[in-house]
Chain A
Amino acid sequence: MSFFANKQNLVSDILRRYPTDRKRSAVMPLLREVQNAEGYVSDERIAEIAGIIESTATEVMSVMSFYSTYSSIPTGKYHLQVCMTLSCALAGSDQLWDYLQDKLEISQGEVTSDGLFSLQRVECLGSCGTAPLMQISDAGYAECLTKKRTDALLEELKRRGDGSIPANDTPTPVFVKHIDGRVVQVTSDGQIAGGNA
């Protein structure tokens, strides 16, 4: 079964972002489409992508293996990618990781027996102000993960079970506020500074 056969609009939308003689640039967006839909990229799909970009399966695989997002083996419905870099580590990401392994009874690269969860350690997710955090599949972030919030999140994901995630409830960590038509910054002790008249 072809993956892209009935998605020709999508394929042409991706291809038209790049010069006509540079189809190879489409390899990453095409890999992402497959990864998101099927949870991994099989050899069959690699060959199909190679056909679209007029290249070879080896070339597609060389790109795929470079990046940490694409998986060549199946992942769970909820692929939990836990940030382990220093700002998260200083907020307990090592303990969060241990806790997830114990609770889900899986380790790096494994999938739970019900196919719901898989785990991956990843490096900096670029959200150091809301550490510790994880990325869930290609759906979004779950941030400021205390033990209590992690428990609640896992329960919610189990309840859903369809790959969807709850809305991100973490406030944006910025201190620009709009007060009486003025844009101001609020100091840590509540003082108002700056301002657009």
Chain B
Amino acid sequence: MTAILENTAPEKPKSITSGLDPRFKPRLYEHVGVPNSWTLEYALKNGAYEGAKKALAGTPEQVQDEAKKSGLRGRGGAGFPTGVKWSFMPKEDSKPHYLVCNADESEPGTYKDRYLMEHDPHQLIEGMLVGMHAIRANVGYIYIRGEYILAAERLERAILDARAAGLLGDNAMGFGKSMQVFVHRGAGAYICGEETALMNSLEGLRANPRLKPPFPAQAGIFGMPTTVNNVVSIASGALIMRHGSDWFASMGTEKSKGNFLFHISGPVKRPGVYELPLGTTYREIIYTWGGGPTEVIKAFNPGGSSTPMLPFTDEILDMQADYENCAAKGTFLGTGGIILIPKNCDIVNMMYNYVRFYAHESCGKCTPCREGIGTWMVRLMQKLISGRGDPNDVKILEDLFGNIKGKAFCLLADSCIMPVQSAYNLFKEEFEYIAQNGKPMYSGYANRWNVE
């Protein structure tokens, strides 16, 4: 009797947490790299817009629920549940709603959105239709960074083709609703990745961040209810409608579900974008897929330059990459853009590179960031790497960390301090060495260019 009972209780299949699991199927990047994959003809042959059709046939709440059930969390770095974000939009109002796709991918070490837009623009447009339906929007903007020239061209072309085929337009897909998507190209400003700065940019203003509240769902672009989602969040919405929330939730760990675009840069044998389930170990990502480092590594940023560094140890490498495990180690899953930090390069020089980046990208609105990052951090780091430092500078640096972090208008200043402070905590001796001796502990940063 007990044997029969055991047999009838279906065992829940183990969640997919490795790209080597035979059940794992690449979906986001399924067509990336295939010739002509950006054409409407190719996309339609491969099931594009089936998800949008399902979405538009149902109610906005049904789409929100499907996204909630899937466990999808924002892929821009913050990890907020997408379905919940969609449900924040007002239900009954006479105002126009807007969906904005944040394609301003400017986080150093991050390059996942670019190839998706270049090679599979229809997947993103389909996702726009799904997301727009979920938030009752008739207009969507794809805010793409100005430097992504080919991606913008392919998207513009894809929108024209989709409009001509009746997938977008006054009667999109024959559901009697007007659905329009437009591309808005940026012009070289990292801060536009911050959603309120992006909205100002879209309105033709300087891209300074706005004070919250009001939140975008209350008053976003043009003062109207707005949702801003990352490219991969939106594309995932299309895939969830196509393949079901169960498919998405069959991958990942307890609270981090689905497929994710990990990508590696720095000294690694095969830099590239790897679509893998969440919960894949960093060892698998870096060694099995990336081919392993090409030199001795001392640390890595797990998800873009803003995410605090993790030491390159067995413990960390065997950690499953997900939102919770990263948080437990004091960092973030971020964008999934892993940057390997080589041992023979001086950490102070490398962190100066980061500081210079954030200083250049500071919008100048608030004092802690404009003066703290833009002047103090830059000058102090310049002093150290040019060999004019003295031991007291390390104390000033610590003081700056405390006086900038958590004190600025938006997260840009923290995004600079977090990786630099993590590097300082991990490699304090290198900071002290250069301050004391006027030269770096490791000299490998000076010459890294390949001739051939």
Q: Answer whether residue A146 sits at the interface, using C-beta atoms and an 8 A cutoff.
A: yes
Residues of A within 8 A of B188 (CB): 67-69, 122
| Residues A188 and B342 in contact, CB atoms below 8 Å apart | no
Residues of B within 8 A of A66 (CB): 189, 206-207, 363
| Residues A31 and B187 in contact, CB atoms below 8 Å apart | yes
Residues of B within 8 A of A22 (CB): 203-204, 222
| Residues A129 and B292 in contact, CB atoms below 8 Å apart | no
Q: Answer whether residue A195 sits at the interface, using C-beta atoms and an 8 A cutoff.
A: yes
Q: A87-B108, A174-B32 are in contact. Are A124 and B357 (CB under 8 A)?
A: yes
| Residues A87 and B203 in contact, CB atoms below 8 Å apart | no
In the bound assembly, the distance between CA atoms of A29 and B264 in angstroms comes to 33
Q: A66-B206, A89-B448, A176-B29 are in contact. Are A124 and B107 (CB under 8 A)?
A: yes
Residues of B64-104 whose CB lies within 8 A of A: 96
Q: Answer whether residue A90 sits at the interface, using C-beta atoms and an 8 A cutoff.
A: yes
| Residues A127 and B109 in contact, CB atoms below 8 Å apart | no
Interface size on A, residues (CB 8 A): 70
Residues of A within 8 A of B34 (CB): 178
In the bound assembly, the distance between CA atoms of A139 and B150 in angstroms comes to 9
User: Which of A104-112, A130-138, A156-164 participates in binding chain B?
Assistant: A130-138
- By size class, the interface of chain B is 35 or more
Q: Answer whether residue A26 sits at the interface, using C-beta atoms and an 8 A cutoff.
A: yes
- Closest chain-A Cβ to B170's Cβ sits at a distance in Å of 13
User: 1/0 per position for A138-174, CB-CB distance to B under 8 A?
Assistant: 1111000011100000000000000000001000111
| Residues A187 and B26 in contact, CB atoms below 8 Å apart | no
Q: A95-B449, A127-B111, A195-B25 are in contact. Are A28 and B201 (CB under 8 A)?
A: yes
User: 1/0 per position for B24-41, CB-CB distance to A under 8 A?
Assistant: 111001101110000000
Residues of B within 8 A of A9 (CB): none
Q: Answer whether residue A8 sits at the interface, using C-beta atoms and an 8 A cutoff.
A: no
Q: Answer whether residue B392 sits at the interface, using C-beta atoms and an 8 A cutoff.
A: no
- Closest chain-A Cβ to B128's Cβ sits at a distance in Å of 14
| Residues B353 and A89 in contact, CB atoms below 8 Å apart | yes
| Residues B357 and A196 in contact, CB atoms below 8 Å apart | no
Residues of B within 8 A of A132 (CB): 449
- With beta carbons under 8 angstroms apart, the residue of B25, B114, B273, B342 that contacts A194 is B25
| Residues B265 and A128 in contact, CB atoms below 8 Å apart | yes
In the bound assembly, the distance between CA atoms of A194 and B289 in angstroms comes to 13
Q: Answer whether residue B270 sits at the interface, using C-beta atoms and an 8 A cutoff.
A: yes
Q: Answer whether residue B432 sits at the interface, using C-beta atoms and an 8 A cutoff.
A: no
Q: A124-B108, A176-B30, A187-B288 are in contact. Are A92 and B357 (CB under 8 A)?
A: no
**Most central of B25, B141, B148, B187 by chain A CB within 10 Å:** B187
User: Which of B7-15, B178-186, B310-318, B368-376 participates in binding chain A?
Assistant: B178-186
In the bound assembly, the distance between CA atoms of A188 and B291 in angstroms comes to 5
User: 1/0 per position for B187-210, CB-CB distance to A under 8 A?
Assistant: 111100000000001111111000
- With beta carbons under 8 angstroms apart, the residue of A17, A128, A168 that contacts B111 is A128
- With beta carbons under 8 angstroms apart, the residue of B148, B187, B273, B451 that contacts A148 is B451
Q: Answer whether residue B269 sits at the interface, using C-beta atoms and an 8 A cutoff.
A: yes
In the bound assembly, the distance between CA atoms of A32 and B20 in angstroms comes to 45
Q: Answer whether residue B303 sits at the interface, using C-beta atoms and an 8 A cutoff.
A: no
| Residues B272 and A17 in contact, CB atoms below 8 Å apart | no
Residues of B within 8 A of A185 (CB): 19, 24, 26, 274-275, 289
Q: Answer whether residue A175 sits at the interface, using C-beta atoms and an 8 A cutoff.
A: yes
Residues of B within 8 A of A174 (CB): 29, 32-33, 115, 272-274
Residues of A within 8 A of B288 (CB): 187-188
| Residues A188 and B111 in contact, CB atoms below 8 Å apart | no
Q: A146-B452, A174-B273 are in contact. Are A123 and B190 (CB under 8 A)?
A: yes
- Closest chain-A Cβ to B42's Cβ sits at a distance in Å of 12
Residues of A within 8 A of B148 (CB): 126
In the bound assembly, the distance between CA atoms of A62 and B107 in angstroms comes to 25
| Residues A87 and B266 in contact, CB atoms below 8 Å apart | yes
Q: Which 9 A-B pairs have the closest CB atoms?
A: A92-B449, A188-B291, A128-B265, A173-B272, A67-B187, A24-B204, A95-B449, A68-B188, A69-B187
Beyond the given pairs A17-B182, A187-B288, 11 more chain A to chain B contacts, judged by CB atoms under 8 angstroms and listed by A's residue number, are A29-B185, A53-B204, A86-B109, A86-B266, A94-B449, A124-B109, A127-B114, A138-B146, A139-B149, A140-B150, A193-B22
> Using a CB–CB distance below 8 Å, which chain A residues touch chain B?
17, 19, 22, 24-29, 31-32, 53, 62-63, 66-70, 84-87, 89-96, 99, 122-132, 135, 138-141, 146-148, 168, 172-178, 183-185, 187-189, 191, 193-196
12 interchain pairs, CB-CB under 8 A: A19-B96, A28-B185, A66-B207, A68-B187, A69-B188, A90-B266, A123-B361, A128-B265, A147-B452, A175-B270, A176-B30, A193-B21
